[in-house]
C-alpha cells in the first residue's frame, strides 16, 4: 500500500481541525447586574447619527446642517466647525485617536487613510484638534485608485469630501478606534472618481423629476422624494483551514476546479433550515457589531445552497443603505475570521451550487411638511383613487425607464463573478425584464385594452380596474417570481440581478437614472395632453394606455430560467447580454450617454471612465483566474495525477511479473488519457491567454477572455474534476466540495 502524499495529509489535518472546532463564545453586552442588554440599549452607540447631532449642536447650527443635507445647499464653514468640534469631543470620549475620510473608489471596496487628531502647538505641545475644514475635505494620496483615464498621474490629486447625509461612525479595530467620515471622492475638477458621487447626483435628479410629477398631479405639498433601499446580502461561510488550502479561493474568491459532491442542494434541506451553532455564534457577533454602528439588520437565515446564508436590513435612504451594505460586507469578513470562517462574497464560489446575489429592494418615499403625506411610499398602492392613479403613473415611469434603458441596467451589474450567475438558471437571466404579478398585469392589460369605466371619474375607473383591491392582493407572498431580474413585490421593486460582491451604488444610480428619465417622459406625455393639477382622469388613462402598450415587451411573468424565454425575449427585441464585455459596452452607446449627460449624473468622460474601469477590472480578474488555474494544475493537480499514475503502473507491472492480469490497467489508461487531454487544454490555455494579452485593444482583449479563454478554462476544469473522481483520496491535495460545504 502506498502512503498518502504530503498535500493530502495537510488536507486530512484540516478536516480534523474543522471537526474539532467549537463555536466561539460570544459574550453579548450586559448591564452592571449582568443582564443582557436589549438591542435598543446599545444600537447606534458608535455612530454620530442625526439624534446625536441634535443633542450636541446648537439649535440653529443643527437646522442649517439638516437643510444642507436635504437640499444639497452649500455647507457653511461655521456649521462645519461646530460639527467638527462636537464629533471630536464625542469621539475622544470613546477612546478614538484617528479619523479618516471613508470613501468608495471604483474598486468595489472602501478606502481609508487614517490621520491622528493631534496637532503640534508652539513649544512642541501636542493637542487633539479637528477643524471644520479638516472635516469637510482631505486629500489622500490617491494616485493608485482606478480613475478610468480621468486623472492622469501628473495631476493625480483626488479629494475626499464629507457627505453629511450619511452618519459618521467609529470603526473599532484591535487597539485602535477610528472615526470614519463617509465621503465622496472627486478629482481636482470635480469629476466623480468614486461610486457614491453618481449615486448622490442620481438621487437628486430622481427627487426633482418625481416631485415635478407629483406637483403636476396637484400634490403641491411634496418637498422631495427619496429613493429607499433594502439590501439582502447572500454569502458563503467556509472554514479558514480549508480556505487557506485553496489557492483559487484565496486568489480569485471562487473555486476554479472541484468535482461535484454526491449531495448538492437537491434535497433542498438547507434553505431556512436550523442555523448551525458555529454559524449562529458568528451571526450574533456580526449583528452586534452592526447594531453598534447603527446598521439595522433585521433578518438572518440559511440560503438555498449548503453553507450559504443571508442577512437583510430594514430599508433606509439609498445612500445610507449603500454605505451600510459596504459596512455589512466588511463586518461579515472581519467577524468571520474571528470564528475561523472565511466569508465568501463572490457571486459563484462553487460550480453546480447556487451562487450569491444581493437583492436590491428599491422604492421611493415622499418628504413633506404635511405629516399626512410625509413618509408615504410611492410604490404602495393606496386607499384612495387618487393615490392609486399616482401609483400607476409612477409605475408607468418605471416601465418606461426600464424598457428604454434595459441595457444600462444590465451594464450596471456586469462583473466577471456575476457572469457565472446570470443565465445559469439559478439567478435572474441576463435579459432584463419586469415582473408585475398577476393582478397588476391584469390592470395594465385592461388599461391597454381600454377596459375601464367611461365617464372620467377616478372612483369609477379605479373600481372597474379592481385597483382598490390592489393593496391586499399585493401583500400576497405567493405572487412572487424569483426568476425575474426586476420584480414588483407588493410595495417595492426588487432588483435581484445585482451580484453579491458588488457595491450597489452604481446599479442603484442606473435604476434612479432610468426611472428619472421614464418619469420625465410621463410628465411630457401628461403635459402634451394639457394636464395640470391632476383632475382629468380620462386623459391620465390615455397616457397610461400609451405607456402600457409601448412598454409591453419589457413585462414578463413567466419562468425567466426557461429556454423558451430566451427565444421569446429575442422575438420581443429585448437584449440578452450574457457576458460582461458586451454588457459593459452598453455604457458607450448613445442612449446611455444621453441618459446620464442629460440628467447631469455623469459627464461623457465620467461615464466612459465607469466603462473603462469595469472592463479593466474584468480583464484583471480573468488574468488572475487564468494564472491561478495554471499554477494549481502544474503544481498540485498534475503532480497528484503523476504520482497516482506511477503507483498504478508499478502495481500493474508487479502483477504482471507474478503472472496475474493487472486489474489496474483500465484506470491507468483512463488516467493517461485524462493527463494527456488536460495537458493539451493547458497548452491551449497558454495560447489563448497569450493571444489575449498580446491584444492591445482592451475591448477585444476582454472579449477573448470572455470567450476562448473562459471556454478552455472550463474544458481544463472538467478534466481535472474527472481526475479528482478517480485519483486516490490519499493523494488529492485540495479540499473537496463535500468537505468544504458539508463539514461544520
Q: What is the binding site for ligand ADP (CB under 6 A)?
A: 228-230, 232, 312-315, 361-363, 377, 489, 491-492
489 binds, among ligand ADP, Mg ion, none (CB under 5 to 8 A by kind): ligand ADP
Nearer to ligand ADP by C-beta: 105 or 227?
227
Nearer to ligand ADP by C-beta: 512 or 537?
512
Nearer to ligand ADP by C-beta: 109 or 314?
314
How would you write 489-511 as a 3-class SS string?
A: CCCCEEECCCECCCCCHHHHHHH
Least distance from C-beta 265 to ligand ADP, angstroms? 21
Nearer to ligand ADP by C-beta: 315 or 732?
315
Q: Determine contact, residues 701/692, Cβ cutoff 8 Å.
A: yes
Q: Determine contact, residues 349/271, Cβ cutoff 8 Å.
A: no
Q: Phi and psi (nearest 5°) for 248?
A: -65, -45
Q: Determine contact, residues 458/537, Cβ cutoff 8 Å.
A: yes
Nearer to ligand ADP by C-beta: 255 or 489?
489
363 binds, among ligand ADP, Mg ion, none (CB under 5 to 8 A by kind): ligand ADP
The correct pick among 209, 359, 400, 701 for binding Mg ion (CB under 5 A) is 359
Helices 505-528 & 385-404, crossing angle to 10 degrees? 120
* Binding region for Mg ion (CB under 5 A) out of 238-246, 359-367, 622-630, 669-677: 359-367
Q: How far apart are CA 673 and CA 679, in angstroms?
A: 10
705 binds, among Mg ion, ligand ADP, none (CB under 5 to 8 A by kind): none
Nearer to Mg ion by C-beta: 194 or 316?
316
Least distance from C-beta 361 to ligand ADP, angstroms? 3
DSSP 662-713: -TTHHHHHHHHHHHHHHHHHHHHHHHHHHHHHH---HHHHHHHIIIIIHHHH
Least distance from C-beta 204 to ligand ADP, angstroms? 18
Least distance from C-beta 362 to ligand ADP, angstroms? 6
216-255 binders of Mg ion (CB under 5 A): 232
Q: Phi and psi (nearest 5°) for 197?
A: -60, -45
Nearer to ligand ADP by C-beta: 312 or 511?
312
230 binds, among ligand ADP, Mg ion, none (CB under 5 to 8 A by kind): ligand ADP
Q: What is the DSSP letter of 484?
A: -
What is the CB neighbour count within 10 angstroms for residue 646? 11
Binding residues for Mg ion, how many (CB under 5 A)?
2
Nearer to ligand ADP by C-beta: 194 or 310?
310
Least distance from C-beta 323 to Mg ion, angstroms? 21
Q: Which residue is nearest to Mg ion (CB)?
A: 359
Indicate whether 492 belongs to the interface with Mg ion (CB under 5 A): no
Q: Identify the helix (H) or strand (E) that includes residue 196.
A: helix 196-216
Cell of 659: 503472472
What is the CB neighbour count within 10 angstroms for residue 395? 25
User: Cα(first)–Cα(last) distance of the chain, in Å?
Assistant: 31
What is the CB neighbour count within 10 angstroms for residue 8? 20
Q: How far apart are CA 12 and CA 322, in angstroms?
A: 41
Nearer to ligand ADP by C-beta: 393 or 626?
393
Q: Phi and psi (nearest 5°) for 16?
A: -60, -50
Least distance from C-beta 494 to ligand ADP, angstroms? 7
108 binds, among ligand ADP, Mg ion, none (CB under 5 to 8 A by kind): none
Least distance from C-beta 297 to Mg ion, angstroms? 15
Q: Determine contact, residues 296/313, Cβ cutoff 8 Å.
A: yes
315 binds, among Mg ion, ligand ADP, none (CB under 5 to 8 A by kind): ligand ADP
Nearer to Mg ion by C-beta: 339 or 359?
359
350 binds, among ligand ADP, Mg ion, none (CB under 5 to 8 A by kind): none
What is the CB neighbour count within 10 angstroms for residue 263? 13
Least distance from C-beta 253 to Mg ion, angstroms? 21
Distance of CA 326 to the CA centre of its chain: 9
Least distance from C-beta 439 to ligand ADP, angstroms? 16
Least distance from C-beta 287 to ligand ADP, angstroms? 14
313 binds, among ligand ADP, Mg ion, none (CB under 5 to 8 A by kind): ligand ADP
Torsion angle of C-alpha atoms 363, 569, 410, 518, degrees rounded to 10: -50
Q: What CA–CA distances, in Å, run from 570 to 355, 431, 433, 575?
A: 26, 9, 12, 7
Least distance from C-beta 512 to ligand ADP, angstroms? 13
- Contacts of residue 504, defined as CB under 8 A and 6 or more positions apart, other chains included, come to 229, 231, 321, 322, 325, 358, 360, 498
Q: How far apart are CA 732 and CA 425, in angstroms?
A: 31
Least distance from C-beta 482 to Mg ion, angstroms? 8
Nearer to ligand ADP by C-beta: 145 or 493?
493
Query: Cα 238–243–244 angle (5° rounding)?
Result: 155
Nearer to ligand ADP by C-beta: 313 or 735?
313
545 binds, among Mg ion, ligand ADP, none (CB under 5 to 8 A by kind): none
x-or-dash pattern for Mg ion, window 29-48, by CB under 5 A? --------------------
Least distance from C-beta 151 to ligand ADP, angstroms? 34
Q: Which residue is nearest to ligand ADP (CB)?
A: 230
229 binds, among Mg ion, ligand ADP, none (CB under 5 to 8 A by kind): ligand ADP
How buried is residue 371: exposed, middle or buried, by Cβ count under 10 Å (0-12/13-18/19+)?
A: exposed
In three-state secondary structure terms, 103 is strand
Nearer to Mg ion by C-beta: 359 or 404?
359
* Contacting positions for Mg ion (CB under 5 A): 232, 359
Amino acid at each position: 500500500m502506498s502512503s498518502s502524499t504530503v498535500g493530502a495529509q495537510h488536507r486530512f489535518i484540516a478536516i480534523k481541525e474543522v471537526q474539532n472546532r467549537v463555536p466561539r463564545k460570544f459574550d453579548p453586552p450586559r448591564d452592571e447586574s449582568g443582564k443582557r442588554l436589549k438591542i435598543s440599549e446599545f444600537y447606534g452607540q458608535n455612530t454620530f447619527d442625526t439624534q446625536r447631532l441634535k443633542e450636541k449642536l446648537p439649535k440653529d447650527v443643527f437646522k442649517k446642517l439638516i437643510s444642507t443635507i436635504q437640499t444639497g445647499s452649500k455647507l457653511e464653514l461655521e456649521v462645519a466647525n461646530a460639527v467638527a468640534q462636537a464629533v471630536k469631543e464625542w469621539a475622544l470620549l470613546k477612546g478614538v485617536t484617528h479619523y479618516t475620510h471613508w470613501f468608495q473608489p471604483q474598486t468595489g471596496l472602501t478606502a481609508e487613510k487614517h490621520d491622528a487628531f493631534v496637532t503640534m502647538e508652539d513649544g512642541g505641545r501636542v493637542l487633539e484638534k479637528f477643524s471644520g475644514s479638516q472635516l469637510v475635505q482631505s486629500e489622500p494620496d490617491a494616485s493608485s485608485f482606478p480613475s478610468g483615464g480621468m486623472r492622469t498621474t501628473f495631476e493625480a490629486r483626488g479629494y475626499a469630501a464629507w457627505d453629511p447625509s450619511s452618519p459618521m461612525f467609529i470603526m473599532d479595530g484591535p487597539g485602535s478606534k477610528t472615526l470614519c467620515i463617509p465621503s465622496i471622492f472627486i478629482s481636482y475638477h470635480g469629476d466623480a472618481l468614486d461610486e457614491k458621487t453618481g449615486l448622490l447626483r442620481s438621487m437628486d435628479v430622481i427627487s426633482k423629476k418625481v416631485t415635478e410629477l407629483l406637483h403636476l398631479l396637484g400634490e403641491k405639498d411634496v418637498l422631495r422624494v427619496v429613493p429607499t433601499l433594502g439590501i439582502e446580502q447572500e454569502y458563503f461561510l467556509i472554514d479558514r483551514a480549508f480556505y487557506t488550502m485553496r489557492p483559487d479561493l484565496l486568489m480569485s474568491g471562487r473555486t476554479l476546479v472541484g468535482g461535484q459532491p454526491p449531495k448538492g442542494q437537491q434535497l433542498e434541506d438547507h434553505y431556512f433550515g436550523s442555523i448551525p451553532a458555529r454559524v449562529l455564534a458568528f451571526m450574533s457577533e456580526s449583528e452586534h457589531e452592526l447594531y453598534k454602528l447603527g446598521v439595522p439588520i433585521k433578518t438572518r437565515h440559511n440560503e438555498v445552497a449548503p453553507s450559504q446564508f443571508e442577512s437583510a436590513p430594514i430599508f433606509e435612504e439609498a445612500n445610507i443603505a449603500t454605505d451600510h451594505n459596504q459596512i455589512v460586507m466588511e463586518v461579515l469578513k472581519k467577524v468571520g475570521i474571528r470564528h475561523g470562517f472565511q466569508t465568501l462574497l463572490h457571486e459563484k464560489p462553487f460550480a453546480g451550487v447556487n451562487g450569491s446575489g444581493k437583492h436590491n429592494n428599491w422604492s421611493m418615499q415622499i418628504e413633506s411638511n404635511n405629516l399626512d403625506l410625509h413618509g408615504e411610499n410611492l410604490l404602495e398602492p393606496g386607499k384612495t383613487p387618487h393615490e392609486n392613479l399616482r401609483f400607476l403613473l409612477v409605475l408607468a415611469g418605471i416601465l418606461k425607464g426600464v424598457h428604454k434603458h434595459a441595457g444600462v441596467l444590465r451594464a450596471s451589474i456586469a462583473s466577471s463573478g456575476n457572469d457565472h450567475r446570470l443565465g445559469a438558471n439559478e439567478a435572474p437571466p441576463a435579459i432584463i425584464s419586469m415582473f408585475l404579478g398577476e393582478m397588476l398585469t391584469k390592470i395594465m392589460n385592461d388599461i391597454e385594452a381600454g377596459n375601464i369605466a367611461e365617464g372620467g371619474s377616478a372612483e369609477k375607473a379605479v373600481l372597474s380596474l379592481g385597483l382598490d383591491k390592489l393593496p391586499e392582493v399585493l401583500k400576497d407572498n405567493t405572487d412572487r417570481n424569483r426568476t425575474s431580474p426586476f420584480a414588483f413585490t407588493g410595495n417595492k421593486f426588487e432588483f435581484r440581478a445585482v451580484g453579491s460582491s458588488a457595491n450597489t451604488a452604481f446599479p442603484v444610480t442606473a435604476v434612479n437614472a432610468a426611472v428619472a428619465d421614464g418619469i420625465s417622459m410621463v410628465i411630457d406625455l401628461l403635459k402634451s395632453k394639457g394636464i395640470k393639477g391632476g383632475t382629468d382622469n380620462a386623459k391620465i388613462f390615455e397616457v397610461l394606455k400609451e405607456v402600457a402598450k409601448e412598454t409591453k415587451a419589457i413585462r414578463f411573468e413567466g419562468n425567466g430560467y426557461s429556454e423558451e424565454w430566451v427565444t421569446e425575449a429575442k422575438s420581443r427585441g429585448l437584449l440578452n447580454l450574457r457576458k460582461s464585455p458586451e454588457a459593459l459596452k452598453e455604457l458607450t452607446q448613445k442612449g446611455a450617454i444621453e441618459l446620464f449627460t442629460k440628467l447631469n449624473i455623469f459627464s461623457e468622460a465620467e461615464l466612459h471612465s465607469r466603462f473603462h474601469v469595469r472592463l479593466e477590472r474584468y480583464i484583471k480578474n480573468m488574468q488572475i483566474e487564468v494564472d491561478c488555474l495554471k499554477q494549481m494544475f502544474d503544481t498540485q493537480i498534475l503532480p497528484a495525477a503523476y504520482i497516482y499514475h506511477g503507483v498504478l503502473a508499478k502495481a500493474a507491472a508487479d502483477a504482471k511479473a507474478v503472472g496475474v492480469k493487472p486489474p489496474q490497467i483500465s484506470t491507468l489508461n483512463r488516467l493517461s488519457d485524462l493527463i494527456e487531454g488536460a495537458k493539451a487544454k493547458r497548452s491551449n490555455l497558454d495560447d489563448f491567454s497569450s493571444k489575449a494579452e498580446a491584444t492591445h485593444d482592451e475591448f477585444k482583449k476582454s472579449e477573448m477572455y470572455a470567450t476562448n479563454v473562459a471556454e478552455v478554462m472550463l474544458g481544463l476544469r472538467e478534466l481535472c474534476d474527472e481526475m479528482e473522481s478517480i485519483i486516490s483520496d490519499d493523494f488529492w491535495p485540495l479540499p473537496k466540495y463535500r468537505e468544504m460545504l458539508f463539514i461544520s
